[in-house]
A and B are shown apart, each in its own frame.
Chain A
Amino acid sequence: MSFRFQKTAVLRHETVLLLVLVLEVVFFQLAGRNFGTVDNVANIVRHSVEIGLLALVMMPVILTGGIDLSVGSLLGLCAVLFGKLWRDAGLPWELAALATLGLGALAGGFNAALITGLRLPPLIVTLGTYSLFRGLAEAITHGTDAFTRFPERFLFLGTGRIAGVPTQAWIFVAVGVAVWLLVHRTTFGRSWRAIGFSPEGARYAGLPVTRRLVLAYMLAGLMAALAAITYTARFGTAKADAGTGYELAAITAVVLGGTSIFGGVGSVHGTLLGVAAIAVLTNGLSRVPATMSNAAELSGLLTGALLIVALAGGALPGRIGARRRKEHPPAVGAPVSDPA
């Protein structure tokens, strides 16, 4: 059985993705209207921060071989909780925001407890909490209530600029750097990777597998809460349906960024490139006259195509293949017709 070290393959994948991003930018610059303007770039950034934040923390979760389908629903729940705490409990928005972050982390911890405590598959657990969190959000608002009229200082988070750059972009950059360091420069990232390759191997190596998994899912919850805050600040309203479908957008960006869905392989910068490639595509299509009217549909379609092409053309099939072969050694001369 031969293993090739995958570092070079990962680099290649990310280089390909960077190339795709550059091509997108060049194309939309030439074909689109007002694509490269300062306002539009700011617009792209504003629109991609929430999904970007979710993707940044989805990446470590997927790196451990897990998945978190609940982050979009948790974003909705956190938005509603934030509104409730601010409007109905009368907390100042700063305190309400802090409490929301805590509650988000707690919800992530709930996922982790089910996954590590009851040894349930992450897919099943977070599929359950995906419905649970959204259902709670709707129960709190009775499906109709929406929170509005937030103070100016709060809305500044979603609509203002600091040094010419959208406020939430600064938050995103800070989180991006933090997660990158966590994954690539600390023992946390090393452990996540080991768990992703082999949960049992990590346990036998004496790594604190449970604690590391709890951290990954709590981070995901925390970041869903942060995304809920920037989301609410951007739209000026908090509703139960906030962030619907964001979990899949985040997963798409992570996988497009070269993180193996089987765990172990991937990089945060790849994820960031994945987020950017999708965001630029979506925005760019709405800037090209020919595609302006149905940009949303087309971007969905093209994202799907991009995902398949990038993964098929890149190194990922080899990686998946290597893992599959390891787990299920092929039977030589298996099902063939009986000559007798």
Chain B
Amino acid sequence: MSAVLQLTSVTKSFGAVRALKGVSFELRAGEVHALLGENGAGKSTLIKIITGAHQPDGGTLEIGGQQVAQLTPQAAHRLGIACIYQQPALFPDLTVSENIGLRLESVSVLRRVNWSARRERAAQLLQRLGADISPDAEAGSLSMPEQQLVEIACALGAGARIVIMDEPTASLTQKEQHRLFTVVRELRASGVGVIYISHRLEEIFALADRVTVLRDGESVGTRNIGAGQSAVARCMANERPESPHPGPLPGGEGERQPATRPAVRVPFAEPLTTILPLPSGEGRGEGVRDSRPAGPPNPSTPPITESELIRLMVGREVSSIYPAAEGEPGEVVLALSDLGCTAGGVRHITLDVRAGEIVGLAGLVGAGRTELARVLFGLTPADSGEIHLNGHSVSIRSPQEAVAHGIAYVPEDRRRHGVILEMPIAHNLTMAIHPRLFPGTWLRFGAERSHALESMRDLAVKAAGPDAPGGSLSGGNQQKVALARWLATKPRVLILDEPTQGVDVGAKSEIHKIIRRLAQQGMAVLLISSDLPEVLGMSDRIAVMRGAEIVAMMPRGTEAHAVMAAALGQGRGES
């Protein structure tokens, strides 16, 4: 089994911080190798070394069996290394074919652009991926997953042998995930080595052949992954059209019709192995051509289980994942009746949330959950229906009014909305309580500092100090800061939008405990999450949204498939 990439005892320090303390890592041709670790464990640094963005301080790097010194991003590209980021880096105002052309065509002042050839090639690459994307579409008009596919098309076109995918599914719907998985499997089948970074364990079990866990800049182990380790994995792996699809999808919603029926159409007309040629050309492809998929993992090491994997990552056993509810919820705090907002994209929302209760908002991406939160927070004010807070009818026309009414919203996109990355943590933490902390508008730095230190202590924010910029924090700690900012307003209603997305396992369970604690203190919590186990585990009741409406209310203890079925619109009219 040949290694297309071999890192041996790689070290890297930034100032006094030792980001990597002698990490060894091997990627074989035709394998999907998951890279796992809490935020700050060294994954990003390792990737940056592989892509040539950082130079290692020590250790060796072999690509395709040859030792490489002084790897630059350009050299990495030439050597067939491609990286697909969570946020695709396409030029939004150029067309898809122009974007692909820019990546793949040689640059020369005198060279004329052969537009038809460029377009042809783009169309071909996209077709290979089974992507229904017009080469003439502007990249900015594509959805995130479509942009990812364009990135993958670039990697394909460049004949990449090593493809790195950094949390590629973070913003994808389930159907899009399945399509991506199919592409990844086909890449593997064609001999490409894929490094796959994700926080979602079920994905790793569904997709990866091996997993390497990083912790505190060290590799704590590389393990084989056996198929069928978890129920979730089995469920997710079961996506091939073994059972023929029963007729056209209902509703005529086409692409938007999400899919988690047992069968999902595989977007390939033929197996990719035949349409994805192995990299050809001299000097490339040795070790690729002759190695078909990595085959079964080495039988000498037993496959790892989910709990072992979590233990490896955090270095401790994460016992009960979801904190249990205690006691009965109190009075109805937030009552919505027939609430709607045409511009905001929600309609006919009727929902109660009681004090001390966590109501989960489940549904697919685009079902209207974030839109509902935006209406409640006054970002897109409601134009019909009523909002009652503690029995009083209120109107919420702006975030300031929402705050005044005791509504807090911790947004989904914490890097853009939740935290101002350039500003110190202390400033971020006090931003929603200016009137209270700074009466008369004069800043009180002492009060601000002590408030910040207290908040950081309460939520165990790991940071250099209150003056460190928000952007210096890891994802989980940024989320805690975003949360702490709103807890400071002492809200009656707390809306949490994807509070643990992109957060490592350890911080995730801490955030869960915090949320439960807040509910116990009497807050009415509305929890939006695409992480189904999280919604099921945390919520006292679950409201399922689909197509801008709430389509079902379910009690605690509802089975995952029932929630999913409601989110997908199955069983409509039944029961």
Closest Cβ of chain A: how far from B463's Cβ, in Å? 11
The main secondary structure of chain A at its interface with chain B is loop
State whether A194 touches B431 (Cβ < 8 A).
yes
Note all chain A residues with C-beta closer than 8 A to B471. Answer: 1, 3, 326
- Is B423 in contact with chain A by the CB < 8 A criterion? yes
In chain A, positions 257-292 with a C-beta closer than 8 Å to chain B are 264-265
Give Cα A5 to B464, complex, Å.
11
Partner of B81, one of A187, A201, A333: A333
State whether B438 touches A187 (Cβ < 8 A).
yes
State whether A202 touches B420 (Cβ < 8 A).
yes
State whether A3 touches B469 (Cβ < 8 A).
yes
**Among the listed stretches B55-63, B97-105, B258-266, B292-300, which one makes contact with chain A, having 4 or more residues with CB under 8 Å of it?**
B97-105
Partner of A328, one of B14, B89, B421: B89
Partner of B420, one of A4, A198, A208, A333: A198
State whether A185 touches B427 (Cβ < 8 A).
no
In chain B, positions 372-423 with a C-beta closer than 8 Å to chain A are 379, 398-400, 402-403, 409, 411, 416-423
Closest Cβ of chain B: how far from A196's Cβ, in Å? 9
State whether A333 touches B472 (Cβ < 8 A).
no
Note all chain A residues with C-beta closer than 8 A to B434. Answer: 187, 190-191, 207
State whether B107 touches A337 (Cβ < 8 A).
yes
Give Cα A200 to B409, complex, Å.
14
Q: Of all chain B residues, which has the CB nearest A337?
A: B106
State whether A329 touches B87 (Cβ < 8 A).
yes
- Is A321 in contact with chain B by the CB < 8 A criterion? no
Give Cα A322 to B541, complex, Å.
43
- Is B82 in contact with chain A by the CB < 8 A criterion? yes
Give Cα A326 to B89, complex, Å.
11
Closest Cβ of chain B: how far from A1's Cβ, in Å? 7
State whether B443 touches A185 (Cβ < 8 A).
yes
Closest Cβ of chain B: how far from A10's Cβ, in Å? 12
Q: What bracket does the count of chain B residues touching chain A fall in?
A: 35 or more
Residue interface mask B107-123, A partner, CB < 8 A = 1 = 10000000000000000
- Is B449 in contact with chain A by the CB < 8 A criterion? no
Q: Of all chain B residues, which has the CB nearest A210?
A: B398
Q: Provided the pairs A202-B420, A337-B106, A340-B159 are in contact, do residues A332 and B52 lie with their beta carbons within 8 angstroms?
A: yes
Note all chain A residues with C-beta closer than 8 A to B443. Answer: 185-187, 189-190
Closest Cβ of chain A: how far from B286's Cβ, in Å? 15
State whether A338 touches B379 (Cβ < 8 A).
no
Q: Provided the pairs A203-B379, A206-B399, A206-B432 are in contact, do residues A186 and B417 lie with their beta carbons within 8 angstroms?
A: no
State whether A5 touches B468 (Cβ < 8 A).
yes
- Is B320 in contact with chain A by the CB < 8 A criterion? no
Residue interface mask A324-340, B partner, CB < 8 A = 1 = 00101111111111111
State whether B85 touches A329 (Cβ < 8 A).
yes
Q: Of all chain A residues, which has the CB nearest B74?
A: A336
In chain A, positions 17-40 with a C-beta closer than 8 Å to chain B are none
Q: Of all chain B residues, which has the CB nearest A184?
A: B443
Residue interface mask A1-17, B partner, CB < 8 A = 1 = 11111110000000000
Residue from A3, A193, A338 with most neighbouring chain B CB atoms (10 Å): A338
- Is A205 in contact with chain B by the CB < 8 A criterion? yes
Give Cα A328 to B74, complex, Å.
18
Residue interface mask B150-193, A partner, CB < 8 A = 1 = 00000001110000000000000000000000000000000000
Q: Of all chain A residues, which has the CB nearest B419?
A: A201
Note all chain B residues with C-beta closer than 8 A to A333. Answer: 51-52, 73-74, 76-77, 81-83, 158
Partner of B441, one of A188, A203, A336, A337: A188
Q: Of all chain B residues, which has the CB nearest A193?
A: B423
Give Cα A334 to B76, complex, Å.
10
State whether B158 touches A339 (Cβ < 8 A).
yes
- Is A197 in contact with chain B by the CB < 8 A criterion? yes
Q: Of all chain A residues, which has the CB nearest B50?
A: A332
Give Cα A185 to B105, complex, Å.
54
State whether A206 touches B53 (Cβ < 8 A).
no
Residue interface mask A128-167, B partner, CB < 8 A = 1 = 0000000000000000000000000000000000000000
State whether B77 touches A194 (Cβ < 8 A).
no
State whether A5 touches B400 (Cβ < 8 A).
no
In chain B, positions 424-472 with a C-beta closer than 8 Å to chain A are 424, 427-428, 431-432, 434, 438, 441-443, 467-469, 471-472
Partner of A185, one of B106, B399, B442: B442
Note all chain B residues with C-beta closer than 8 A to A1. Answer: 471
Give Cα A7 to B423, complex, Å.
10
- Is B485 in contact with chain A by the CB < 8 A criterion? yes
Closest Cβ of chain B: how far from A187's Cβ, in Å? 5
Closest Cβ of chain A: how far from B31's Cβ, in Å? 21
State whether A200 touches B416 (Cβ < 8 A).
yes
Q: Of all chain A residues, which has the CB nearest B435?
A: A187
- Is B311 in contact with chain A by the CB < 8 A criterion? no
- Is B512 in contact with chain A by the CB < 8 A criterion? no
- Is B284 in contact with chain A by the CB < 8 A criterion? yes
Note all chain B residues with C-beta closer than 8 A to A208. Answer: 398, 400
Give Cα A323 to B423, complex, Å.
13
State whether B78 touches A339 (Cβ < 8 A).
yes
State whether A204 touches B76 (Cβ < 8 A).
no
- Is B281 in contact with chain A by the CB < 8 A criterion? yes
State whether A339 touches B416 (Cβ < 8 A).
no
Give Cα A197 to B476, complex, Å.
22
Q: Of all chain A residues, which has the CB nearest B489?
A: A206
State whether B105 touches A201 (Cβ < 8 A).
no
Note all chain B residues with C-beta closer than 8 A to A7. Answer: 467
Give Cα A145 to B89, complex, Å.
57
Note all chain A residues with C-beta closer than 8 A to B76. Answer: 332-333
Closest Cβ of chain A: how far from B567's Cβ, in Å? 26
State whether B105 touches A338 (Cβ < 8 A).
yes
Residue from B52, B53, B77 with most neighbouring chain A CB atoms (10 Å): B77
State whether B420 touches A205 (Cβ < 8 A).
yes
State whether A197 touches B422 (Cβ < 8 A).
yes
Q: Of all chain A residues, which has the CB nearest B106?
A: A337
Note all chain B residues with C-beta closer than 8 A to A189. Answer: 443
State whether A6 touches B422 (Cβ < 8 A).
yes
Give Cα A203 to B431, complex, Å.
10
Closest Cβ of chain A: how far from B118's Cβ, in Å? 11
Closest Cβ of chain B: how far from A142's Cβ, in Å? 45
Q: Of all chain A residues, which has the CB nearest B485?
A: A205
Closest Cβ of chain B: how far from A13's Cβ, in Å? 16
Give Cα A333 to B400, complex, Å.
44
Q: Provided the pairs A3-B469, A339-B159 are in contact, do residues A194 and B441 lie with their beta carbons within 8 angstroms?
A: no
Give Cα A330 to B53, complex, Å.
10
Partner of A204, one of B53, B418, B438, B442: B418
Note all chain B residues with C-beta closer than 8 A to A204. Answer: 379, 399, 409, 411, 417-418
Closest Cβ of chain B: how far from A209's Cβ, in Å? 9
Give Cα A330 to B52, complex, Å.
13
State whether A339 touches B284 (Cβ < 8 A).
yes
Give Cα A202 to B432, complex, Å.
9
Note all chain B residues with C-beta closer than 8 A to A334. Answer: 73, 77, 89, 102-103
Residue interface mask B61-92, A partner, CB < 8 A = 1 = 00000000000011011100111010101000
Provide a sorted-by-A list of 20 A–B residue pairs whose CB atoms are within 8 angstroms.
A3-B421, A4-B469, A5-B467, A187-B442, A189-B443, A190-B427, A197-B423, A201-B417, A202-B431, A203-B379, A204-B409, A204-B417, A205-B420, A205-B428, A331-B103, A334-B89, A334-B103, A335-B103, A336-B74, A339-B284
Task: Give me the interface of B with A, judged by CB distance under 8 Å.
Answer: 14, 51-53, 73-74, 76-78, 81-83, 85, 87, 89, 102-107, 157-159, 281, 284, 379, 398-400, 402-403, 409, 411, 416-424, 427-428, 431-432, 434, 438, 441-443, 467-469, 471-472, 485, 489
A-B contacts besides A205-B485, A332-B51, 18 pairs, CB < 8 Å:
A2-B14, A2-B472, A7-B467, A185-B443, A187-B438, A187-B441, A187-B443, A190-B427, A190-B443, A191-B434, A202-B431, A206-B399, A206-B432, A323-B422, A333-B81, A333-B83, A335-B102, A340-B159
